[in-house]
A and B are shown apart, each in its own frame.
Chain A
């Protein structure tokens, strides 16, 4: 009779599990509104949000905010599943490049005009966020933004006979310094001059920094047309980036896995990376390094930068009492005070225009560089961030791995980027 006992025991366990796990459902007061906030797990942000919520709840006794976070790689899966089950959170923290799709999928609603009008939004924020205006409406409000800068390893500069306090100012100097700091054995790198890549920041540097410096506005004003090849200089800019790895051989995408790791290992002299990785470098890079603004074509030439941000959206079904609570929380999240706090604890730069000139922030030598970058930053008007990323990566890899003609690969890439855009705006 052992079997019966076992089965019965099992049934009891299952029933207990079924009943026990979800019993603390509705324990909140009736006059309390609970809203949920989702973000992906970035430890510094998760801790910051927890702190902010504590503060917010103190100031707003009737509102309870529940913050939940999910691993980055599955964040989109989770959102998709939740939307299908109509179990969406009230506020979603998303990458700005996802906005067009989320609007189209009817996941999120526009920021209510009476809460913050389009003009108010444009007054309040840095101009770069205007890229995310969709259908003439804003769907999200960011707390912070990010820009790029050039990190360099002072020790490797010194070893190569370069002035460790003199980072490159122009792209040619970067290549030059790169050549001097590179140590190769045949095709294999022992030390790289530059953390050359395409899938990390390289894909953004090409359109928003190099193309602009070569005199090209990468997208038309209405964002409908990809104009990377509107002038012959377009392909030159593209070729310049690729030449770094194929001709000048100052770095390779596969050297030490990722730019963060290759620079942190102390075996790469320079890397272009975002403000979001400052803390990673502070923690991992065990040597003397500095940060400077992105190179220009020639001294005094046009400066440009790529700006990006994670931003807060209200999901489609939020209304009534909840919407009011959500608006209160959003207001709190985007306040200047929160933005300062965010910078201090997360390392992302304030999104409000009023803080761009803030002396307090500018006094920090690292943040000052990124703030400077922000002034000339452009966000890419993605419609299908993932697809567009793949197209650019594939085009570059066709040249570097398959020896496809640069111009051919470039033009085909622009064509494909245009196709994605057309397809998106078609229906």
Chain B
């Protein structure tokens, strides 16, 4: 009887989730369908294409540097994700597990670096990049995001939930502090690291304002910058089907990254700690 009740309530949960999906996925579905329309068809604003038309995709691959932008974005997003996982893991751990003078101040200071809109930081960054000759380079695009306060905060929150005894036990065993962090602490926050990985990759994959300012040649552009070239105009003649096609293709690697990382979130943490 119990299992039956569980089953029925499970069906309700599934139903609930499906209703949610209808709402959540609708604009997304529209975007994909729109990418398979010709421009005149697009301007009919229907949901379904009158006739399947792949001219937008043909245009993307034949007339634009889409593949290059794709590669640029990928390289940048991967690199910045790695640096963030390492640095934010280390900093978050330090703030959560060490007691030291100036801890509160430094934490608030680092947190406060998130409180200035990028729009305002762009000019000083550009001045720095121009002095150091970083303009129009991969490093120039990446450097402001190498460590994000966002990740520091996320990791601090999750490390604060890690019990101290496993760490202390390792200290008594004579393990070095750096190794304790890497071998004992980090494995316990895998779920959070996966979430951070997904979010950092995504944030950089979609990053727009700074990349658009710091790049000058088409070769160095990232994907969102490339897409925006077809989406902004002083007059309005916008190739919407191209934008929809480019945006649809842009989601693919994120879905892959999500699928890779999310299994980790499912696995969760092993409570046995280090050994």
Contact = CB atoms under 8 A, between A and B. Distances in A.
Interface of A: 3, 6-7, 10, 13-14, 17-18, 21-22, 25, 40-43, 68-74, 77-78, 80-82, 84-87, 95, 200, 256, 258-261, 264-266, 273-274, 276-277, 279-280, 283-286
A342 to B, nearest CB: 16
B189 interface: no
A10 B138 contact: no
Nearest to A279: B237
Contacts of A87: 126, 130, 135
A85 B126 contact: yes
Contact of B235 (A41, A73, A260): A260
Given A21-B137, A284-B40, A258 B236 contact: yes
Given A41-B229, A277-B236, A85 B127 contact: yes
Contacts of A14: 79, 139
A43 B182 CA distance: 50
A285 B237 CA distance: 11
B165 interface: no
Given A7-B86, A77-B213, A80-B123, A264 B43 contact: yes
A74 B235 CA distance: 15
Given A18-B139, A73-B232, 7 more contacts: A22-B134, A42-B234, A70-B212, A80-B123, A256-B45, A283-B237, A284-B43
B9 interface: no
A260 B42 CA distance: 13
A265 B137 contact: no
A415 B86 CA distance: 58
B44 interface: yes
Contacts of B182: 3
A384 B236 CA distance: 22
A20 to B, nearest CB: 8
A18 B178 CA distance: 27
B236 A78 contact: no
Given A18-B139, A22-B134, A81-B126, A276 B235 contact: yes
Interface in B75-122: 79, 82-83, 86, 119, 122
A72 to B, nearest CB: 4
Contacts of A277: 235-237
Contacts of A266: 43-44
Interface of B: 39-40, 42-45, 79, 82-83, 86, 119, 122-123, 126-127, 129-131, 133-140, 142, 178, 182, 209, 212-213, 216-217, 225, 228-238
Nearest to A278: B237
A10 B123 contact: no
B99 to A, nearest CB: 24
27 contacts: A14-B139, A17-B142, A18-B139, A22-B136, A41-B229, A42-B233, A68-B217, A69-B229, A71-B232, A74-B213, A77-B119, A77-B122, A81-B123, A85-B129, A85-B131, A87-B130, A256-B45, A260-B235, A265-B45, A266-B43, A273-B235, A276-B234, A276-B235, A277-B235, A279-B237, A280-B237, A284-B43
- What 8 pairs between A and B have smallest CB-CB spacing? A280-B237, A21-B137, A286-B40, A260-B236, A81-B126, A85-B130, A72-B232, A265-B43
A78 B235 contact: no
A261 B43 contact: yes
Contacts of B44: 265-266
Given A85-B127, A277-B235, A74 B138 contact: no
Nearest to B78: A13
A81 B236 contact: no
Contact of B236 (A3, A17, A25, A261): A261
A10 B233 CA distance: 40
Nearest to B127: A85
A21 B139 contact: yes
Nearest to A87: B130
Nearest to A89: B216
Contacts of B122: 77, 81
A280 B39 CA distance: 10
A280 B232 contact: no
A285 B134 CA distance: 44
A22 B133 contact: yes
A71 B212 contact: yes
A362 B119 CA distance: 46
A19 B129 CA distance: 14
Contacts of A78: 212-213
Contact of A68 (B119, B216, B225): B216
A70 B234 CA distance: 12
B85 to A, nearest CB: 10
A201 to B, nearest CB: 9
A73 B228 CA distance: 9
Contacts of A259: 236
A22 B220 CA distance: 11
Nearest to B217: A68
B43 A10 contact: no
A84 B234 contact: no
A13 B79 contact: yes
B137 A22 contact: yes
Nearest to B220: A21
A9 to B, nearest CB: 9
Nearest to B224: A71
A212 B228 CA distance: 38
B134 to A, nearest CB: 7
A72 B236 contact: no
A71 B213 contact: no
